[in-house]
Structure formats: structure tokens, C-alpha cells
Structure 1
Amino acid sequence: MRRLLVLGLVAVLALTGCGGGTVAETIAGTTTSPQDSNFVYVSNLDVITDWDPATSYSNEVIAMQNVYDSLTVYNPVTKRAGARLATRWTSSSDGKTWTFTLRDGVKFHTGRPVDAASVKASIERTKRLAGGAAYIWDCVQNITVRDPLTVEFTLKYPAPLDLIASADYSAYIYDTAAAGSGDLTKWFQQGKDAGSGPYTVGTWKKGQRTELTLRAFEGYWGGWDGAHYKNIEFRVTPNLNTAWQQLLRGEVSFVQRLNPALYHKAEMTAGVRTLQVPSFQNMLVLLNSASGPLKDIRLRQAVQKAIDYDGLITALKGAGATANGLVPEGLLGHSSKVAPKQDIPGATALLQQAGYGPGGKQLQLTLTYAQGDDDEQVLVDQLTQTLGQLNVHVNALAMQWNAQWDQGKSKDPTKRQDIFVMYWWPDYADAYSWFLNVFHSGEPVSFNLTYLKSKALDSQIDKLPSLVATDRSAAEKAYFELQRTLIDQNAVVAVPWVSNYQRAYLGNVQGYTDNPAYPNVVFVHDLIPGG
């Protein structure tokens, strides 16, 4: 059914030079032709939530970025947008007119051409459906087809459209005619695709261990000369120890994340490559400000103060770095002046003011977090233990993402959790995504899982794109003030750390690099399978 590319000890030592210190464990097996080999990606969460490239906004990014192209792609070295479907672009002096020139001869997986008309059609459909990260196109007033390979955007206000066009979600260009006269949304949700990327959907089995397979699209504009992985499998393995054993047996190629103990093992294992890199992804502890006991701001503040921020960084052993507010280092809006510290006496006093805590009533809280995420488990264990000592009982539930998110979005406020633990990362290399998606008022509930509603705050958030494009100094100040408002004044969020990605993959996988603008994505076509 599938052939695995694995290495024996001799080949590992001769070709990869991976691991360090002593050889703790080795990978053994047989080697198949690199041209026919599978790349097997292990995730601890369900892969597909939404198949529609217009509205997709979750874990499926790891697959979608291998199926769909955007106009540009973010280059983490230059910190600028680079060519993808567009080979070049220009903007007017006022930043309100952008012209993109497309690659010639590119085809969708459906066989139809990728041209200026299809770019216009896909972006306009994404805007019209207004799901996922479609807000990235809010600045666009008109899209004009100048010729088959030239598309012009007229903006309502100045914006960095080349960077926006590289977003990890909702920037996908797709064939809007793929379903013919049928319903395109329903067509997509059957597990079909209409992209122009290197891979197309092979099989999709929701809820199965191997949830998704992709196969090479032979007509891909980037070509298939030389050695490439022709197939990708996405396997769901919530238990990280199981995932590690699968890697050791050569059954999988890449483990998205490991806990610190397993990562240390991986560093010492011949035949395994490791990579630890800083990210734009942070851990959020979202506090329910609309219903339940945490509607009392004193109790939200007490939870914030109970978190042992420094202790978590130590416990994560390299998997996390100190967070300074909501915006990770490397993005506009980061400030070292927002540094949280644990304050048990302060937490105790706030609990007692609200009638809880030591000597008072026991406070009951519900918390949801991701099943199989050992870093989140460290946070939850620490927080439940600390709060337990303050007469606060936390009922913590480990859940698969879809179930956790569904509970958070429940139309019945009484069914929602008090504390929602999740990761967040920007939709493109700017911090706007945190503020618009997680903290802006909105119905129905999506990712605004603190349920905060503030017209004044919404107005501040809405001004950010124009400030970023026209006055970066003012934007920097606005980001700082918004973080103080959310963390200190409204106490709706705590940010325990910024993630350092800890990857492990087979030593014969060559050419892998990590792009922080596309969290957890492996651009598999760029890899070289080694024999």
C-alpha cells in the first residue's frame, strides 16, 4: 500500500551525521526508490476542519499549503514577500494601486488555466463568503483584469498587499469553476480540491489514523525534475510517545512536535534530524468574560496571577520562550515592557475579595485544552495544582480540536468553558490577526473565545491596518496600548509563552527549513528524499 524510505545504521552515519553525543537509538529498515517514496507527516490533532480554501482557518493549513498556491509567499530570510503565482508586482506611490504579473502556463488541478480572471474570481468569492481570514482582503475595493497575466487591485486605503497576498489562510488562488453548475462549497467539502500546487487530494478518511493522502500533480508549474516525494500522508497520532516510536521504526518521516524529553532523545538518536526554531506562535489562556464565574474581573485577574510564567519556561526545556504580551518578537508591536510574573499573594487577595479562595467558598472552573499536546499539559497541570492550593477546583478536559472549538462556540453560554487554552499565530507576518480575530466583537462566535464586547476596543482594532501602512510609529504605540487594555485592564487573556518549534524527522529527509509565517507547514515539494 505504501513504501517507506528508511535508513540502516551504516547509511545514517555515513550520509546524515545526525544526532549528537552517543547513539542512543537507531533506525533500521529497508530503502525504497526516493522517486516513489511517501512523506509521512504526524500531527497530534485532526487535520481537516474545512476543505473550502475560501473559509479554511484551522489545522488543515499543513495540507492546504501543499495543494494551493497564493500570489506571493513570505520569505523569512528577507522578511519580504517572494514570488509564487505572481512573478513580479508594483505599487503606486500612494500604496493604493497594486499590479501583479502572473506566471505563464500555470494550470489548476482541474486543467483550467491560472490567469488574471481566475485570480479575480477566487479572491472575490473569498471576500463574498467572508469566512476564515477573508478579512485580509478588506482593503481591496476593486480587482481589474488588465490582460490574461496581469491583475490590478485598487485599495480603499494603503496596505502592504504583497505581504497580505502571502497569508497562510484565505490567500489561496483556486478554480471557482471546479464544480461546474454545482455548489462549489459542497463540492469542496467532499474532499476535492481545485488548487495549482504540487499536490492534489488522493484520499480523505475523516477520523481515521491516516486521515489524508496527497499525490503529486504531474502538471505542477514547479516541475518534478530530480528527486521529490510523490505522495504525502497525514497521520493523526495524539500520543507523542507513539509518534516518536513510529519515527524510530521508520514508519513516519516527520513529527510535528515533541515534548522536551523526547526532543532530547531525538537529538541523541542516529538517523534522526532535529530542529528547534523560534516561531510567531504563542500560547493563549483565554478567560470567559461573558458568562460563568470568570465574568467577575477579579477572578480573571486571579487566574492570570496564578500562572507560574518563569516556572513554565523552565519546565518546557526549550520548547517555549518568555512572552512579552501578545505579539512575538520579530513582528511590529512586540514590546519587552509587557512581562507577566506570578503573584500568589495577589491572586489570593483577589479570590478572597470575590468570596472565594482560602477560607472562602471553593471556586469551580472548567478548562479545555488540546489532547496530545504535552506542552499544554504542562501548563494545565501547573495551573490546576496552583489554583487547587488556593481552593479553586479546575475541571480540565483534554479534547481533540474540533470538539474543543465546538464547545467554545456553543450558542448556549452555559455550555462554554471558563478557560480556553489554544495557540495563535498571525495570518500574515503582522500582529493584526490576534486583535481582530481573538478579541474583536463578533457574532457568531469564532475565535473570539473570551466573548469580549467593546465598541471602543473594536474601533481601535479597526484602525490598525491603515496605521501599519502609513505610520508605523503610531501603529507600534497602538499595539502596545491594545495589549495593556486586554491583559491588564480587561484581564481576558494570559500569554504564558511563545513557542519554540521542536521538530524531529528522518535523517534522509533533506532540505527542510521552517517558515514561521506558515506554522507547522512542511513544503514537501522543496524536500529531497535521500537514499
Structure 2
Amino acid sequence: MNWHAHDGRLSRRELLRGVGLAGAALGIGGAELERLIRAGQVIAAGDTLVVAQDTSVQTFDPQIVYDNTVRITRGVYETLVALDGSTPRIVPRLATAWTAAPDVRQWTLTLRPGVRFHDGAAFTSEAVKVTFERLIKINRGFAYAFKPVVAGIETPDPMTVRFNLSTPDAAFLAKLASISGGLVVSPKAVTEHASGDDLAQGWLRDHTAGTGPYMLERWDKGQQQVTLTQFPGYWGGWNGSHFKRIIFQIVTEASTQRLMLERGDADVATIVAPDLIDALARQPGIKIAEHPTMRIFYIAMHCQREPLKDPKIRQALSYAFDYEGARQAIFNNRLAPLNGPLPENDPAHLVTPKPYKFDLAKARQLLSESSRPKGGFTLSLFLFQGDPTFRKAAEILQAGLRELNVQVTIQEMTSSVLLEKAGKPETAPDLLPVRNYPDYADPSAMIEATFGKDSWGTAGWNFSFYANDRVERLLAGANEITAQMRRLQMFQEAQLVIVAEAPAIFIGTLINRVPMRSDVQGFSYNPLLGNTFDLYGIHKG
């Protein structure tokens, strides 16, 4: 089939005629392809951006979203402060100035005047108070960063907000720049749409009320399509080049995303499968934006359930994984090393040699010293549906553990179902492949979210359900001082404890590669903001 006939696009009739064949070739159903292509009728010229989105929407609630839906909510809601371009430098956003007490137990911010929410409400200090008190009460996702430290929030006047902390927090301002949790929501919407004591969680699941440049026009659950449109009253204005509409088409199958991008039915793809990205790089009219990241790839091990409660068994599993094989087979050699919870480009990363390597003899030795010396047990492993990277990593681990007389059962499920199950210790799997990035520009971000005791499951991203008192003391101590060198030492000490106890199999640090059509311009990536990008600045050339 000639996918590049004439202007590089087939007619819709020709494409639909070939759907069955294409679907079979790509390993997906013809009905799925036809549905996506028919949905592409809304795809227009230069005033519309279409993103093939890899994650189903569970909620748009800005205090709950903690998955790739942040790509959407980042354009609808805003933070008090932000990161400058691709750097960790903190700059004003909804706040224009800030000061901290000498002991960093109090932070005062001056707010931007003249800002309005999409529902017409004025942005004031009350909105900030409502947002953060709501975040702490709901206690999901990024709440882990604020609940232990925020003692109270004062509103001296409409344009001033003051955070009083129970303990010093040198990273507090960096936390305010995170695109999870602290996205400011309209207090009018929270009040008017609350049902009982749910703080409007039900309404905000499929509605929005932010100050951002775009607002939710439609969430078509049947077509799995989210449409954003410009907010005319945006305080940043609309001078320059901006999209009028942005469409997120939910497509969990990487191969389907590839076809949509080749066809021009999507402008940006969010797939992470290296083989498909390499294939797209060879196609005319497509370019790949490539950047180093702080996004680590690992397999979490359930530390609160037998037999993985035994550190010796977790260490044995860490030696049974073929790291070099994974780097070559899954990532086509595009994978940076990872010696612990922090990637190499974090100033507090471990500089010691990789603590675990593929060594079945060492794995057998450690297993023989454990509570299950002969193996003979089965571990459950969950996968996000349609992600070949996770699938290959799971199969590599499965093969290694088979040599230790340990079986692994692999179960694939949608992101919403998986996160619901994995977020609770009693329903979580024994093993879970995970990609994670820091929530804010400080070494404490990754360690606390991934291995902090207050971040278990949906309260953060600690799918290992790991907890260690010494780690907690080191993290708390590092956040109470501003001497940077001592802080880095404490973070490194915490990592050494974590690595020794092996709550996860540390595989590597990803290189961000985003396929897009060649006419997409203004794409801005910040490694501290996950795999999102600035919707306000992107446009077509």
C-alpha cells in the first residue's frame, strides 16, 4: 500500500478501504483505526494541534491528576510560579514576587492582579488557599509534598498569600512550580459544584475551571477525544502564534499513534517505543525532538508483602535482570545509566559504580540466603496496556527469574484500572514497571515521591510501598537546611540506604524523543516537567 501517494496522504475513502489490512499489519483492529480516522474529521489546518495521547483520562481534577493527563491540565490550569523554558530557574506565573523567612518556615507571595478564571471568578489569595487546602484534604498524588509541612495558609489581603510551615522546607518554592497538585482552581467552582463534602471532585472529574490559556470545550468519552479552545480572557494575551484549538485523541496503542502521525491525522505523538520512533524518523514530513531527561525507568517491588518483604529476595531479583540486554533490545542503546533513585543529571545522583548488574550466580547466592532459598514462588506483574517498552522489560525479568525457579505472571490492563489497583497495598501487584520523573526542581522530589513513606500508591508514586526511618530522617534533615553541599550529601546517604534495600530494579534513565510533524514549531521541553510540553507556546510554521 502506498502511504505517500500524491501529496503524502491517501484520500479518506482509500484509507478506510485499507483499514482492515493496515490494522492487521500493525496488530490492531480495523474498527479501532476507522474510529480514529473518522474522528480525524475535526483535524484542521494551522489553527489546530492534534496530540495522540497515550493515557486515558480518569479525571481533570487539578488536585488529583498525577499521570500523563498533566499534558492536558497544564494548558488549562496554572501554578503560582513556573520553570523558565528548559531550565530549573523559577520565574513568576500567577505570583509575581515572593519572600521566605530566614528559617524557611514561612513563604509569602504577591499575586498577579487582573487574572480571571474561565468561570469569570477573580483570581485572589482566597483561590490559592482553597486550592492548597483542597489538595491536602483530598490527599492524592502531589499532596505528599505539602500535607506534612503546611501548617496554615493566611490571606492578609486579596493579592497576598502566606504559607506557614510546621517544619523548614528549603524546596517549598520549587514544589509550587510543579504541574501536579498546585494548579490553582476557581473557588467559585469548588463551592457551587460541591456534592456533600466531595469538594467538587465529581464535577471536576469532567469539567475544568482554571486560569490557563486554554479551556475545556468538550470531553467526548465515546470518541476518547478531549478538545481545548482558547480562553479569550487569558491574562497573557494572544499576540503572536498560538493554536485556537488543541485536540488530544486518546490512543493507547503505539502502532496506531505511528499511523496517525504518518497520515497527518496527528501533529504530535506521545509513544515511547524506540523501534516505532526510529521508523518514524525515516519518514518524510516527520521530525523527532530529542532531549536528555530526568525520567527514570525501574520495576517497583512490593516491600510489604511476602516473599518480597525479604530484602535478600529483592536483591536477588536485582541481579537477575539483564540490564545491558534491556538497553539494547528495548531502547536501541538510547538509555542512560541509573545507579539509584536519581538520574545522572541530578546534582545529588550517586557517583558509585552501578550497584546491581546481571549476575545469575550472585542472584542464586542471595536467594539461597533468603527466606525462600529454593525459589518456588510466583510473582504478579501488571502492565500498562499497549506499551511495548513495559512488555519487553517484563519479559526480560520473567526470563531471568525463571532461572531462579521463580515464576512471573504478566497481566496487561488499561491505565485507569491499573492505577486503581496498584495504588493500594492490598490490590497492588508484586512487580510494576514504572517510568517516573521529579515533580519539582530539587533532589528531594524523586526520592520522596518514589520511596517516601507518605507517598504510598495514589498518595504519591511509591508503588514499592517502601518505608525506612533513616531515609525519612535524612530527607527531613535535608529539607530543613539551605546549605546546598550538605543537602546533597544527605540525599546521597538516603540513596545508599535505598539501593542497599533494593525496593526497585533500577534499569536506566530515558532519553525523551517526541515524534511530530515537521511544521510543528515552538516545542519546549523541560526535563523537570515530565513528558509534557508548553501548549501556549507551540504553533505551526
Q: TM-score, normalised by structure 1?
A: 0.85
Contact 2:55/2:69, CA 8 A, preserved across alignment? no
Once the 2 structures are TM-superposed, how far is the Cα of residue 144 of structure 1 from its aligned partner? 3.5
The one of 515, 519, 525 aligned to 2:526? 515
Contact 1:440/1:452, CA 8 A, preserved across alignment? yes
Q: What is the distance in 2 between the residues matched to 1:122 and 1:418?
A: 35
The one-letter code matched in structure 2 to 1:386 is G
Q: What is the distance in 2 between the residues matched to 1:97 and 1:393?
A: 52
The one of 499, 521, 528 aligned to 1:487? 499
CA displacement 1:407-433 (0-9 Å, x = unmatched): 22346x4x5422111122111112323
Tell me what 1:15 maps to: none
Tell me what 1:177 maps to: 188
Where does 1:42-81 land on structure 2 (aligned, <5 Å)? 42-46=52-56, 48-75=57-84, 77-81=86-90
The one-letter code matched in structure 2 to 1:191 is D
Aligned residue for 1:513, secondary structure, equals coil
Once the 2 structures are TM-superposed, how far is the Cα of residue 209 of structure 1 from its aligned partner? 4.9
The one of 430, 436, 440 aligned to 1:418? 430
Matched, 1:103 2:115: no
The one of 412, 420, 436 aligned to 2:448? 436
The one of 33, 36, 51 aligned to 1:41? 51
Where does 1:452-467 land on structure 2 (aligned, <5 Å)? 452-467=466-481
Q: What is the distance in 1 between the residues matched to 2:388 and 2:321?
A: 17
- The alpha-carbon distance between structure 1 residues 109 and 338, as it changes in their structure 2 partners (threshold 3 A), is farther
Once the 2 structures are TM-superposed, how far is the Cα of residue 249 of structure 1 from its aligned partner? 0.6
Aligned residue for 2:308, secondary structure, equals helix
Q: What is the distance in 1 between the residues matched to 2:116 and 2:322?
A: 52
Tell me what 1:295 maps to: 309
The one of 313, 316, 325 aligned to 2:340? 325
- The alpha-carbon distance between structure 1 residues 527 and 320, as it changes in their structure 2 partners (threshold 3 A), is same
The aligned length equals 495
Aligned residue for 1:450, secondary structure, equals coil
Where does 1:77-476 land on structure 2 (aligned, <5 Å)? 77-137=86-146, 138-156=148-166, 157-183=168-194, 184-206=199-221, 208-315=222-329, 316-337=331-352, 339=354, 340-354=356-370, 360=374, 362-410=376-424, 413=426, 415-442=427-454, 445-446=457-458, 447-467=461-481, 470-476=482-488
The one-letter code matched in structure 2 to 1:175 is S
Once the 2 structures are TM-superposed, how far is the Cα of residue 146 of structure 1 from its aligned partner? 4.2
Contact 1:168/1:517, CA 8 A, preserved across alignment? no
Q: What is the distance in 2 between the residues matched to 1:247 and 1:453?
A: 43
Question: Is there any run of 5+ residues in structure 1 with no aligned partner, and where?
Answer: 1-6, 11-28
Once the 2 structures are TM-superposed, how far is the Cα of residue 501 of structure 1 from its aligned partner? 1.1
RMSD of aligned residue pairs (Cα, Å): 2.8
- The alpha-carbon distance between structure 1 residues 361 and 68, as it changes in their structure 2 partners (threshold 3 A), is closer
Aligned residue for 2:290, secondary structure, equals strand
CA displacement 1:120-167 (0-9 Å, x = unmatched): 332233234333212433544444434433334444425244322201
Aligned residue for 1:517, secondary structure, equals helix
The one-letter code matched in structure 1 to 2:449 is N
Once the 2 structures are TM-superposed, how far is the Cα of residue 119 of structure 1 from its aligned partner? 2.3
Aligned residue for 2:141, secondary structure, equals coil
CA displacement 1:160-192 (0-9 Å, x = unmatched): 443222012112111112144441424534411
Q: What is the distance in 1 between the residues matched to 2:339 and 2:186?
A: 42
Tell me what 2:31 maps to: none
Contact 1:76/1:516, CA 8 A, preserved across alignment? no
Q: Which runs of 4+ in 1 moved over 6 A?
A: none
- The alpha-carbon distance between structure 1 residues 237 and 139, as it changes in their structure 2 partners (threshold 3 A), is same
Aligned residue for 1:219, secondary structure, equals coil
Aligned residue for 2:62, secondary structure, equals coil
- The alpha-carbon distance between structure 1 residues 364 and 134, as it changes in their structure 2 partners (threshold 3 A), is closer
Once the 2 structures are TM-superposed, how far is the Cα of residue 331 of structure 1 from its aligned partner? 2.4
Q: What is the distance in 2 between the residues matched to 1:314 and 1:131?
A: 36
Contact 1:66/1:199, CA 8 A, preserved across alignment? yes
- The alpha-carbon distance between structure 1 residues 237 and 487, as it changes in their structure 2 partners (threshold 3 A), is same
Question: Is there any run of 5+ residues in structure 2 with no aligned partner, and where?
Answer: 1-5, 10-40
Q: What is the distance in 2 between the residues matched to 1:190 and 1:31?
A: 25
Q: TM-score, normalised by structure 2?
A: 0.84
Contact 1:259/1:319, CA 8 A, preserved across alignment? no
Q: What is the distance in 2 between the residues matched to 1:416 and 1:164?
A: 28
Tell me what 2:22 maps to: none
Once the 2 structures are TM-superposed, how far is the Cα of residue 110 of structure 1 from its aligned partner? 0.8
CA displacement 1:204-240 (0-9 Å, x = unmatched): 244x453422222111112223432122222222221
